[in-house]
Structure 1
Amino acid sequence: MSLSLPGTRFRPLSFEVPKPLFPVAGVPMLQHHIEACAKVPNMKEILLMGFYQPNEELNRFLLNAQQEFKISIRYLQEYAALGTGGGIYHFRDQIVSGSPEAFFVMNADVCSAFPLEEMLSFQKEHGEPNSFVILGTTANRKQSMNYGCIVENEETNEVLHYVEKPSTFVSDIINCGIYLFSPDIFQHIGGVFQKNQEEMMALYVAILKESTNGWHRAEAIRLEQDVFTALAGQGKLYVYKTLGFWSQIKSAGSAIYASRLYLNQYHKTHPERLATNKKGGPKISGNVYIHPTANIDPTATLGPNVSIGTGVTISAGVRVRESIVLHGANLQDHCCVLNSIVGWDSTVGKWARVEGTPSDPNPNDPLAKMDSETLFREGKLTPSITILGCNVTIPSEVIILNSIVLPHKDLNRSFKNQIIL
């Protein structure tokens, strides 16, 4: 599983926690992947790979996950950002050490039902055991050009043509960033590495005879552009199209949409995580996750699509909808939080309103653009989902609309369409 760096698109939330550990539907983003892997029969080990420097929080998460899911989980740190293919090629010895017949590769920043067992069955039914499978889904013509596009043989599901983010329409089948490989994939990645190495050495041999920079660059390999494009039409690469939900989690705002998808799935997978209306408890509307340590006044109304983190305090008359409220936040009497993320230990004052405007609120579109960071409004790009960073204080009776507030800010007035530094 490849971990992405805490990139700028996930700020200000990535200041406090690595993106893969950001809570989505009540649990760290990465835990959804691990839960899916742990359910696959004969799964031996989970390897996490990335350039991210491991810290105490990541180590604690891995230890707890190993204990909970009873499976070995290791983090392998890349010496440089090696790309989606370079990482697994660099650590190929660790991957094949257990003599796996096949292994999954998943990007950490995707939200999915993770039909892994279905992909295994599909691989056995289509082509030889050493074939490779891409998880695909369908998108409309405009959306498809933001992803890797797959042209398939409709009878055999073989990938005939692959283009990453084409400039014109190629296909409505897109790459979900979840793959099933046999160890044979390393021969194909190795061919790309050898080609890159030769090109780098030819380019730099005159001036870098004693340097390894060329080798480092040669090992930066992208599965999509460098490997899949070449494999298409060779009888080795297939696409399994899922009807289940899928979304990317690129920006902080897209976590709200991903939370909606996972909360809806909890009806089947984790009904115990969904709050219900109980006597003496808050009013629950739709799918809501509430951590057991949260303290919520019975006159509050939550949902749909709300996730309440550890130690959160929600006072009388509060309304929360389509939002994530993180650890230690305090929502005071009669405040309103809509289409927003309230950061760790932040406070929303009495009768205040914190609100965002999702760019496409259509819940029936599996690729609805809830993940847009910005909208073009009033002649300029402005935030759509309102995000409060860590330890932000919103005073009573103010309105924060379509704004991003960086950590440790005490605001003294209302803001609209602003990034508050």
Structure 2
Amino acid sequence: MKRILVTLIAGLLAVVLLLIGYFAGRHQPPAATSRASSSAASSAPETDTRKILYWYDTMMPQQHFDKPGLSPMGMQMVPKYADENSADDKGIVRINPETVQNLGVRTATVERRVLASAVQVPGTITWNLRQATTISARVDAVVSKLDVRAPYTTVTAGQPLAELLAPQWSSAVAEYSALQHAQSDDAQALQAAARQRLQVLGMTSADIRSALRGGSNAAITLHAPQAGVVTTLDVREGQRITAGQTLMTLNGLSTVWVEAALPQAVAGAMRAGTPVKVTADGLAGRSFQGTVETLLPDIDNATRTQRARIVIDNPDGVLSPGMFATVQLNPSQGKAVPVVPNDALIATGSNTRVILAEGDGRFRAVPVHAGRAAGGYTEILDGLAGGEKVVVSGQFLIDSEASLSGALERLNAPAKLAPASSAAKPDTSAHGAHGVHP
């Protein structure tokens, strides 16, 4: 009897325990379900309260979409919220100062100055034709002696060049000699006329004295009127020559010309008197100073360059015509304009801009009109006044943030959002041209 009682009590206890477990399970949710509900509850307020500007693919941040989903690259798109690095009405982008420091952003102050404008162009050394002298025959004569027998012979001033036998000279010398001791006024007038005739025939005072000492058959010696080089020799000893015939050409070497080929953009900035420095390829370590004498009025049809004539002093005669030279020109200084380092410029296919640093993590993209560049700097013809701070390192990352926040949309035409689908077309506004990841 006791055994039956114990069995019944044990069965009742088991039933009670089963009932307790059943009802406890109905009133307490599983842990996984509780966590999921909690997570959904915590995310719901954020989704409901934060304003989403658009959706984008983190690999292609320049593409904007109006709905979530997969991007054309097959990536899950993420939302861009209005309170993330937002841009205010002035196009200012705010970035956390710690992030700016981590990016290694460097800035430079916009200075106003005149860029170095030295230009180097090729040139060729030529004769200074203003120092050229032609030795010619004044009368019919015979070259009895030639003191200079080869072209490019260097001569000094007054050095004998040639001796000529001329009948006209001989008769004129004899007439003048016969009137040397005349006393009457008429005879002295004839003597002055005879001397004038000798001078018209090309005889100098020295030639006249030499002819008087040598007699009527003496040869007349031609002397070098200046120091230089005999560049052409057109006669030979014993040759008969006629009045007006060229005997030789003498060029001075105290100065030379340098003809420099200037591109048309450079030629426009050149003026007469512009200082230059010339270095010759064959004279290493030496330089020569000079000035632009004139710009020749013809343009080379093959190279589209304009020649500048430059005068260079050549006291020791080391510069020889035909030498190749390098000409450094220093055009006249223009007015000071704002300049920025070349690294500060962000150039796209349609415009150029810089990123201004306005302090406290505030940046702004500004369109500029760039001019010429020299020495690592570029002129800014429009867009900056000087004194601003521009970003020269890390500006592409800031530019990317400006694109995502819409700051650059104020510089370009407003972009339309594309539908979120695999066939969606990307936003083609200029603010996505740089393609930098956020």
TM-score by length of 2: 0.19
Name whichever structure is richer in strand by fraction. 2
Q: Which has the larger Rg?
A: 2
TM-score by length of 1: 0.20
Larger RCO: 1 or 2 (CA < 8 Å, sep 6+): 2
